[in-house]
């Protein structure tokens, strides 16, 4: 066998080996699991008074109950707010396509109907290639009380709006944090009038605020939760108070229950951020709870 034949056979062996290696590498890449998003940055779409970046899987239907007792500044007279006038909301949400949640609810306060949409712009990945989750929420609420029970002048005065851009990160198996920028708009705002019924002071129609919240797991199904909402816009009258709330969360794959103490009374975000006058300094604090139930279709 001459030298040329030997070299040709070696070359063929090298080419075949290289081809087999490429096929093996491609097969491994095809079978490698994709870089999936984290689905448990938070356990629920709610954390106390704010929604989280979480959008459940496509086909998920959710039922929410949000309840706020009265403030406990009267002490034993109304058993620290438990027997005082309360507020609650029934909510319904559905995920028709991936990353998009649509919902509506009805609240005792002012007979408010609210309609909301939430879209997950970016989802934190398991590998860390995408380090943050970013979600946008928009909400519209309608005051449906009879006209004689309000100070509205026209139908459009009943409407209010809330926009929220949320950024969150799960830092470890136990700790998740979120920060959000919020914009609230009311079509109608009350004013202080002079003797000639001319407005001398009133709130701004637009209100900016910042929300921060976090969850620290202390077991597989239990976590410590906290929420702080800080107003940014200055108003001429009735400056809204910041909200501080904290509590516990108990969660399973299909349920979440949160019980907490805070000073927000409403269950509609724009009403909390715009109108809240309760504060810890004057003992205007209350107990609240959220319950959620998920079904997949």
pLDDT at 195: 55
The ranges assigned to domains in the chain are 1-29, 51-296
Which whole number is the average pLDDT over 27-41? Answer: 67
CATH architecture of 51-296: Beta Barrel (2.40)
pLDDT tens digits, one per residue of 235-277: 888 899 999 999 999 998 888 999 999 999 999 999 999 999 9
SS3 108: coil
Residue 147 to residues 17, 105, 151, 205, Cα–Cα distance (Å): 83, 21, 7, 21
Q: Above pLDDT 90, what percent of the chain?
A: 64
pLDDT at 193: 53
Q: Is the pLDDT of residue 75 over 60?
A: yes
Confidence class of residue 160 from pLDDT cuts 50, 70 and 90? Answer: very high
Using DSSP bridges, classify how beta strands 206-217 and 222-231 pair: parallel, antiparallel or unpaired.
antiparallel
Asked whether 112 and 83 are in contact (CB, 8 A), the reply is no
pLDDT at 147: 84
Q: Is the pLDDT of residue 189 over 90?
A: no
Residue 247 to residues 84, 138, 164, 177, 290, Cα–Cα distance (Å): 21, 26, 23, 15, 11
Stated pTM of the model: 0.84
Which candidate, 220, 205, 217, 122, places its Cα nearest to that of 165?
Answer: 122
What would the two tokens of residue 183 be?
A: 């914009």
Asked whether 246 and 224 are in contact (CB, 8 A), the reply is yes
Confidence class of residue 40 from pLDDT cuts 50, 70 and 90? Answer: confident
pLDDT at 69: 95
pLDDT at 4: 44
Per-range mean pLDDT, top range of 4-18, 30-44, 148-162, 206-220? 206-220
Rounded CA-CA distance 187/177 in Å is 33
- Where is 96: in which H helix or E strand? strand 87-97
What would the two tokens of residue 3 be?
A: 């030298």
Residue 59 to residues 79, 111, 171, 179, 295, Cα–Cα distance (Å): 42, 29, 28, 27, 8
Q: Is the pLDDT of residue 55 over 60?
A: yes
pLDDT tens digits, one per residue of 197-220: 555 567 888 999 999 999 999 998
């Amino acid at each position: 066998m001459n030298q040329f034949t030997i070299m040709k056979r070696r070359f063929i062996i090298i080419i075949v080996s290289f081809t087999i290696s490429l096929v093996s590498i491609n097969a491994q890449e095809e079978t490698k699991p994709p870089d999936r998003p984290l689905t448990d940055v938070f356990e629920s779409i709610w954390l106390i008074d704010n929604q989280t970046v979480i959008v459940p899987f496509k086909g998920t239907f959710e039922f929410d109950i949000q309840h706020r007792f009265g403030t406990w500044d009267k002490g034993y007279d109304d058993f620290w707010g438990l027997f005082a006038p309360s507020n609650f909301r029934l909510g319904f949400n559905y995920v028709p396509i991936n990353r998009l949640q649509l919902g509506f609810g009805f609240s005792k306060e002012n007979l408010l109907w609210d309609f909301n949409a939430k879209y997950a712009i970016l989802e934190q990945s398991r590998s860390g290639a995408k380090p943050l989750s970013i979600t946008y929420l928009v909400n519209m609420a309608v005051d449906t009380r009879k006209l004689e029970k309000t100070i509205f002048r026209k139908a459009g005065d009943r409407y209010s709006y809330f926009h929220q851009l949320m950024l969150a990160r799960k830092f470890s198996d136990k700790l998740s944090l979120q920060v959000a920028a919020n914009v609230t708009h009311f079509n109608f705002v009350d004013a202080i009038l002079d003797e000639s019924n001319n407005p001398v002071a009133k709130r701004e129609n637009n209100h900016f605020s910042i929300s921060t919240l976090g969850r620290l797991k202390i077991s597989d199904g239990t976590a410590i939760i906290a929420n702080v909402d800080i107003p940014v816009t200055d108003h001429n009258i009735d400056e809204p108070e910041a909200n501080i709330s904290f509590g516990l969360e108990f969660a399973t794959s299909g349920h979440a229950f949160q019980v907490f103490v805070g000073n927000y009374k409403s269950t509609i975000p724009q009403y909390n951020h715009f109108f809240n006058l309760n504060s810890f300094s004057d003992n205007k604090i209350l107990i609240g709870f959220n319950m959620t139930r998920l079904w997949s279709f």
